[in-house]
Amino acid sequence: QVQLVESGGGLVQAGGSLRLSCAASGIVFSVYNMGWYRQAPGKQRELVATITGGRRTDYADSVKGRFTISRDNIKNTVTLQMNSLRPEDTAVYYCNGQTRFYNPEREYWGQGTQVTVSS
C-alpha cells in the first residue's frame, strides 16, 4: 500500500508564492529519489525538480532560481517551495518517487494538486 499524497495547491496571483508538500508512505523513503512534475492541459507531463537521497537537486531551466525542492527523511516528505510564480506555472503538480536504480515496478505517483497562477 504505497501512497504519495500531495497538498498545498491553490490559486495565487502572479509574483506570489506557494508551497507544495508530498507525504510518502509504504516505501523506504530514504532509498528513493523524489521529484515534482507538472502537467498543463493538452501538454505532456514535464519534470520540474528532483532530489536524491543525498539531497542533490536538479531543476528545469524554467524554474531555476524560483523553485526549491527539499526533503525530510524523518517525516518522509518532499516539499516544493515556489516563488515568483508566473501564469505559465499553472498546471497539476505531481509527486514522484523512484529507486536510485530505476525499476518501473518501483515508481510511484501522487494524485496531483492543482496550481493556478492568475495574472
Q: Check if the beta carbon of residue 34 is closer than 8 Å to that of residue 21.
A: no
pLDDT of residue 19: 98
Residues sharing a CB contact under 8 Å with residue 86, sequence separation 6 or more, in sequence order: 14, 117
pLDDT of residue 84: 98
Q: What is the pLDDT of residues 45-63, one digit of tens each?
A: 999 999 999 999 999 999 9
Extract the residue ranges of the chain whose pLDDT is less than 50: none
Q: How many CA atoms lie within 13 A of 24 on its CB side?
A: 27
pLDDT of residue 112: 98
